[in-house]
Chains A and B, each alone.
Chain A
Amino acid sequence: MAKRVILLLLLCGLAVLFYKTLTGMGPTLTLAPMSQQMVTDAPQTLGSQNVITAIVVTMRGLDTLGEVAVLFIAAAGIGFLLRKEHEHRREMRRDGSEILKTGARLLLPLIILFGCYIFTHGHLTPGGGFQGGVVIASGILLFILSDVSRSVNHSLLSISESLSGFGYAALGIAGFFLAAGFLDNRFLPMGTFGSLFSAGAIPVIYSFIGVKVGCELTGIFTSMQEDA
């Protein structure tokens, strides 16, 4: 009982705090100077139509590299925790229905193509490497659910994941030598603004991120499906 009262008091306190924040802040009317600089500069200097992509991949690129590393560590931790030590627990699982199987076979290439579209057009439209990778992983999850006998090749997954991670870091270092600094995208030709092959290395970097995220999430799904 005392626990509940304390919890209620805590929540009321937080609610008051949030309310004060909300009323004290008021609506934003203009951009902050830094954002203003980014919005006007990103199209000219970086050649990216999507300003958020320019920020994520280039201006705060080191942060994104760390983010990919966090995802990799989480995937590695999950693989470690769910490693195969209880093979006998694999009980009979019901096979997917005919509709699910046929639908998955039809949809899988389309979903993967859509994921590739999202991560190659990250500098033009909403979307990018992470979103595209998640779409690809969801397609493979559908495939796993539809057919229990199939399993995903783990070594292929880890090879493509490592290669794309290496490519991402290598492009960052290439920016160090060929352009202004680490993860600078301006060492590749800029192309015409708004076309697919523009914005220097941004589409290439985002494609690497997309492949890497797709492989990592597929690895998480498969280790959860095989061992849980």
Chain B
Amino acid sequence: MAIGFILILIGIWGMVTQNNIIKIIIGFSIIDTGIHIVMVGTGYIKNRTAPILDSEALRQNAAALTVDPVPSALVLTAIVIGLAVTALMLTYAVRLHVKTGSLSIDNLKDQA
């Protein structure tokens, strides 16, 4: 979980300090990954196994042997949404590159 928090900080630093749009998107992905690690970390219980009940012993007392399945299910959703958002951002970057010929945010001006 500590790793996840560190990744979030690195990602924010990257997003704010970089000029290149691609690097900003990479920063966003790092924040995304960090958040996922933190979310999975909240469901982790020491010495327990994944909630896939493939043996009889595991099925009998599942509640005492498995980790929390809810954060994992939430992260599964979050990863897919993150992928969609990243792909859309990269597409905007491609369009910007076609329109302005550069990827630096310094060259962008508000059009009045």
Cβ distance A161 to chain B, nearest Cβ, rounded Å = 14
Q: Give bound CA distance, A18 to B3, whole Å.
A: 11
Chain B's interface size range is 35 or more
Asked whether A40 lies within 8 Å of B63 as measured between CB atoms, the reply is yes
Asked whether B81 lies within 8 Å of A70 as measured between CB atoms, the reply is yes
Check A11/B51 contact, CB under 8 A, given A56-B73, A56-B76, A71-B80.
no
Chain A residues contacting B76 (CB-CB under 8 Å) are: 52, 56, 128, 130
Other-chain contact of A78, B42, B52, B63, B88 (Cβ < 8 Å): B88
Check A43/B59 contact, CB under 8 A, given A18-B8, A35-B68, A71-B80.
yes
Number of A-B contacts (CB under 8 A): 129
Asked whether A126 lies within 8 Å of B50 as measured between CB atoms, the reply is yes
Q: Give bound CA distance, A130 to B84, whole Å.
A: 12
CB of A95 within 8 Å of the partner chain? no
| Chain A positions 21 through 64: 1 when the CB is less than 8 Å from some CB of chain B, otherwise 0 | 11001011111101110111001000001111001100010011
For the complex of A and B, the 7 pairs showing the least CB-CB separation, nearest first, are A74-B84, A51-B51, A18-B5, A55-B73, A39-B62, A51-B69, A78-B91
Can you name 20 A-B residue pairings with CB atoms under 8 Å?
Answer: A4-B17, A7-B13, A14-B9, A15-B5, A18-B8, A25-B42, A28-B43, A30-B45, A32-B68, A51-B53, A52-B51, A52-B73, A67-B80, A71-B80, A78-B87, A78-B91, A82-B94, A125-B52, A224-B90, A228-B94
